[in-house]
Structure 1
Amino acid sequence: MQHRTNYTEIEHFLADESFRLWVYFNDDQHQWEEWTLENSNRAKLVEEARLWLLAMKAPNDNLTKDEVQNALEATWKKIERVEENKKGKPVLKLLRKRWFNGVAAVLILSLLTGWLYNQTNSDNDSALTYSELINENEEGLVEETNNSDKPQSITLSDGSSVLLQPNSKLSYPKIFVGNERKVYLSGEGFFEISKDPKKPFFVFANEIVTKVVGTSFKIKAYANQPNVEVVVRTGKVKVRSNELISNSKDELIVLLPNQALRFFRKNLSFKKITDITQDELLINSKSNIEQLGFEFTDIPVAQIFKTIEQAYLVKIDFPQSKLKDCYLTTSLTDQPLPEKLKIICKSLGNNTSYEMNGNQISIISDGCN
């Protein structure tokens, strides 16, 4: 606690994790409130830093000067009431006077955008961000960001695969250690998880955590959208609120195939959808991989490769002349992409193998047995 007495700039506070936890989640283990109210000059700087943090979580709204002024007045009245009830000290009244006299109009506008957003779109400051979640993880994480306009296929160390949609990010350890497998998602991804009952798989996506053993499902959790969605294709998943969220309900939702869950950020509530065909939003957002089947009975291997290309939006190069008379009967449902390829190669035999580089797959084969 002693080191923060040297904080003289807003940036010092913004870089302090305990300060961010206090502002976003009301986690005051480091007694920020008491320390702030000890000194009125200190309180002014703390309040500016706090408002900056809140403003950075808000969208860019077009506010008039009157709206800014009215919101600022209402905000300060609310702060004063709360603080007077808690401490009975006049620190914030002094702070309010200095604030109105000393802060530039541009700064007020940007900060109040954050206040208006938080007051009109959320009942509390409980939302978690992707950055905050990965900061909680002490493992060395690899981050993949899809800045392209096409889905990107990612293979994890356990053989699980993720089809990461554009404008999405995934963080994961290079190698899973311990008795859990944890990854972190911002945006949208379709997951196919390798089965390992002794090592459950967790996807942390903003305010929710999805737990699976081996299954396929989609999570849609963009930071700028009001809801988070989980859609199950095969297997079973369990979804709950992230325990880091203040005021969250201790609720666990179990989802089976063709079921979904919608999490509403505004009031931290769940809606379970037992039949996704009855939900227009989910039906309209289904991707190829969710619609195509992977049960094959005496099907040309070239057609199987084409189905995989359509599902994962990858390109598969294979020796067509050597495999043109090869047919397979196999089930590739509920298998990650690398496992699908292994099964095909093993079924073909004759030294068949594959190499994968991003969205490019090469099949090496001398033909089928």
Structure 2
Amino acid sequence: MQERNNYTKIEDFLSDQSFRQWVEYHVDQQKWEEWTLEDSKRAKLVEEARLWLLSMKVTKLTIDELNVEFALEKTWEKINNLENKNTTTQRPVIKLWETKWFKVAAAVIVFGLILNFFSNTPSFLKNELQVYNELVSENMEGLVEQTNNSDKSQIITLSDGSSVLLQPNSKLSYPKAFIGNERKVYLSGEAFFEISKDAKKPFLVFANEIITKVVGTSFRIKAYENQPNVEVVVRTGKVKITPNESVTNSDQEEIILLPNQAMRFVRKDLKFDKITDITTDKKLVLNSNNIEQLSFNFSDTPVSQILKTIEQAYLVEIDFPTEKLKNCHLTTSLNDQPLPEKLKIICKSIGNNTSYEMNGNQIIISSQGCE
């Protein structure tokens, strides 16, 4: 965000999406309030930009097009008359851009252009954050919101043992404990989910326009508020996707995805595209994360190598007694388990009072070696 230090005009702020989110929805992920208060001159400019933005939140112009056109014609008529008068009398030329009425007219035109820009902005740029906030507000379970403002992914462990790898500039709202017959979480941004199995209690991810329903599987959802598409990519298991109530004029029925399949929702056209083989889609392949590419099938593999694979997949740091585990090997499959379950299986397989502690992206394994 160093770029905003060079903002000198109101237009600079109006074109900054994070600034608009702060003013309109009180979402301050980029710490605009703190940045504003650092400099009194800056605060004045920010306040002017804020008032401009708030003034543009109107549903309809109060002046019809004919009156606007008439006013503009009169303005240009005055300009022509003034120029002719100055030419005839040879009086000192008045610089039009220095006159008060010209500045007012220019401001009106600029205001109109900016208003037109915002009114023609795709609806997903204006309403996405609002959809997320509305969905969260409807939940009565007492949600916890985790926002990733860093440049690295963050691990979130849910009360049912499921794990979520939350990407930068993303946020997830979830209950401290799941109650009722469903497990519901809410995503804005991107995350990779590994869901613990519970056939009696399906897991639902509300990601703005779509609802992803699973029992126990792993998949990635990409639903950033400022991007034209929403994507769901399945790694293991099966997921079901349906549009939520915010997607009007859509008769799309439930979409079922299997491993290595994906769905892309095109916001502009309200269109759902199913991709039966993700390897044929260059964008999906390019955007895949380590956790989607690495294999968790191990055959007589050193424990140290297994732990290194987990570090690469989840971008975590694992501290373990290298010497005590150097002769330990495992044969196991960890493809369809959340991170906590993977660690439990490894520790149980090693035995000899092996255990782990997990604090965010830091994991510590204690062990006396293999049995």
1:215 matches 2:220: no
Equivalent residues of 2:219, 2:232 under 8 A apart: yes
1:152 to 142, 147, 154: 154
Q: For 1:166 and 1:203, locate their aligned partners in 2 and report how far apart those are by CA, in whole Å.
A: 18
Which structure would you say has the larger RCO, counting Cα contacts within 8 Å and 6 or more residues apart?
1
> What are the equivalent positions in structure 2 for 1:152-191 lying under 5 Å apart?
152-191=154-193
Distance 1:125 1:285, change over 3 A: closer
CA displacement 1:59-118 (0-9 Å, x = unmatched): xxxxxxxxx999x849x9xxxxxxxxxxxxxxxxxxxxxxxx9x9777655543321214
Write out aligned runs for 1:250-289 (5 A): 250-289=252-291
Shift of 1:368: 1.3
Cα deviation, 1:103-153, whole Å, max 9, x if unaligned, reads: 9777655543321214xx68x979963222212222211111111111111
Alignment partner of 2:198 out of 175, 196, 199: 196
The letter for the 1-side match of 2:199 is P
What TM-score does the superposition give when structure 1 sets the normalisation length? 0.70
Indicate how the Cα distance of structure 1 residues 231 and 105 shifts in structure 2: closer, same or farther if over 3 A, else same: same
Deviation string 1:267-302 (CA, Å, 9 cap, x unpaired) is 211000000000010111111000000011110000
Match of 1:52 in 2: 57
Q: Identify unmatched segments of 5+ residues in structure 2.
A: 1-23, 26-52, 69-104
Q: Which has the larger radius of gyration?
A: 2
Verify the 8 A CA contact 1:179 1:200 in the aligned structure 2: yes
Structure 2 residue 230 is the aligned partner of structure 1 residue 228: yes
Aligned to 1:343: 345
Please say if 1:112 is aligned against 2:141.
no
| Conserved 8 A contact 1:51-1:111 | yes
The answer for unaligned runs of 5 or more in structure 1 is 1-13, 16-47, 56-67, 77-100
Q: Write out aligned runs for 1:20-31 (5 A).
A: none
2:128 touches 2:225 (CA, 8 Å); kept in 1?
A: no
Q: 1:306 to 1:53 in 2, by over 3 A?
A: farther
- 1:300-315 paired onto structure 2 within 5 Å: 300-315=302-317
| Counterpart position of 2:81 | none
Aligned residue pairs total 282
Shift of 1:307: 0.2
Distance 1:249 1:125, change over 3 A: farther
Secondary structure of 2:120's aligned partner: helix
- Secondary structure, in 3 states, of the residue corresponding to 2:57? helix
Letter aligned with residue 259 of structure 1: Q
Kept in 1, the 8 Å contact 2:262–2:275? The answer is yes
| Matches for 1:5-20 after TM superposition, within 5 Å | none
Distance 2:222 2:364 in 1: 30
Letter in 2 for 1:113: F
- With the length of structure 2 as denominator, give the TM-score of the two structures: 0.70
Cα distance per residue 1:219-255 (max 9 Å; x no partner) = 0000000000000000000011013433232411000
CA distance in 1, matches of 2:345, 2:166: 23
CA distance in 1, matches of 2:240, 2:65: 44
> Structure 1 residues 325 and 280 mapped into 2: Cα distance closer, same or farther (>3 Å)?
same
After alignment, is 210-219 or 132-141 more displaced?
A: 132-141
- Evaluate the alpha carbon distance shift between residue 194 and residue 73 of structure 1 in structure 2; reply closer, same or farther with a 3 A threshold: farther
CA shift in 2, pair 1:171/1:73, >3 Å: farther
- Of 294, 298, 301, 2:300 maps to 298
- The aligned amino acid for 2:190 is E
Partner SS, residue 176 of structure 1: coil
**Match of 1:52, as an amino acid?**
K
CA RMSD after TM alignment: 3.0
Is contact 2:247-2:270 (8 Å) kept? no
Q: Which amino acid aligns with 1:274?
A: T
Residue 353 and residue 313 in structure 1: after superposition, are their counterparts in 2 closer, same or farther (change >3 A)?
same
- In the TM superposition, what are the counterparts of 1:122-161 in structure 2 within 5 Å? 129-161=131-163
Q: Which amino acid aligns with 1:257?
A: P
Are the aligned partners of 1:302 and 1:323 in contact in 2 as well (CA < 8 Å)?
Answer: yes
Aligned to 1:96: none
